[in-house]
């Protein structure tokens, strides 16, 4: 899975889970020194600082710590999700299979 594919997967999962995905929103007032993040924070951050904000704030559900975070976020869903997908088999997978399985499940639930 490419970095771009992982970002799209993580972004979609955030939307399905109802959590914020941090990214630049086009400036309505065209003030180049201001950046609006999708989390609604305005700032006069430099691009590097803004990129760091997004990198630190956006989850990566394909990493080991991201898998733990994803499973914690799924506590609000019925327990059959774990048995339905057999999520345990994805735990040691590093290709994003767990995140893909959860995304597919959440798509069907919506």
What does DSSP say about strands 35-37 and 24-25: parallel, antiparallel, or unpaired?
Answer: antiparallel
The arithmetic mean of pLDDT across residues 27-56, rounded, is 71
Whether residue 60 is predicted with pLDDT greater than 80 in this model: the reply is: yes
* Domain limits, the chain: 1-17+59-110, 22-57
The arithmetic mean of pLDDT across residues 26-31, rounded, is 58
> Taking the CA of residue 103 as centre, how many other CA atoms within 13 Å lie in the half-sphere pointing to its CB?
18
Question: What's the angle, vertex CA 55, arms to CA 45 and CA 82, rounded to 5?
Answer: 145
Give pTM, 2 decimals: 0.67
Q: What is the DSSP letter of 61?
A: T
Give the length of the chain.
Answer: 110
Helix, strand or coil for residue 39? coil
The arithmetic mean of pLDDT across residues 53-68, rounded, is 89
For position 11, what pLDDT does the model report?
A: 94
């Amino acid at each position: 899975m490419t970095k771009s594919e992982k970002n799209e997967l993580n972004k979609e999962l955030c939307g399905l889970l109802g959590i914020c995905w941090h990214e630049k929103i086009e400036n309505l007032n065209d003030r180049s020194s201001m950046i609006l993040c999708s989390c609604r924070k305005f700032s006069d951050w430099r691009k590097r600082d803004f990129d760091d904000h997004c990198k630190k704030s956006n989850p990566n559900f394909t990493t080991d710590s991201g898998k733990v975070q994803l499973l914690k976020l799924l506590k609000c869903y019925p327990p059959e999700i774990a048995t339905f997908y057999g999520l345990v088999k994805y735990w040691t997978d590093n290709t994003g299979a767990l995140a893909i399985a959860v995304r597919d499940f959440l798509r069907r639930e919506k």
